[in-house]
Amino acid sequence: MKKVLGSFCISSVMLFLLAIFLAAAPVKAADPTVADEKASHPRIAAAIESLEVALAELKEAPHNFGGHKAEAIRACEKAIHELHKALAYRAKEDAKKKK
């Protein structure tokens, strides 16, 4: 019985010390993410969404829009890619500022 009580006391003290350590540890703010940047730049986020919808519509269209379909698809894909890269860059720069 004494052995069990002693083990319980040691475990309790260790848990208490761990709780104090965790409570005292500084909480680091999360680095900005692309999602944060989309919230900060709603027009860019809306543009990405609109381009994705237009891209899907172009790809599903049965006609070639007078020979412009393939180039329009490439342009939409490139624009979406570049906008995502722009937001990722902004998130990276914002994360540097927080450090």
29-82 confidence digits (pLDDT tens):
455 687 888 888 999 999 999 999 999 999 999 999 999 999 999 999 999 999
Could you tell me which of 88, 1, 3, 4 has the C-alpha nearest to residue 41?
A: 88
Could you tell me which of 82, 29, 25, 22 has the C-alpha nearest to residue 51?
A: 82
Look at residue 75 in the predicted model and tell me its pLDDT.
97
Query: What is the spatial distance between Cα 31 and Cα 95, in angstroms, rounded to a whole number?
Result: 5
Q: Which residues contact 73 (CB under 8 A, 6 or more apart)?
A: 55, 58, 59
Q: Does residue 26 or residue 75 have the better pLDDT?
A: 75
pTM, two decimals, is 0.65
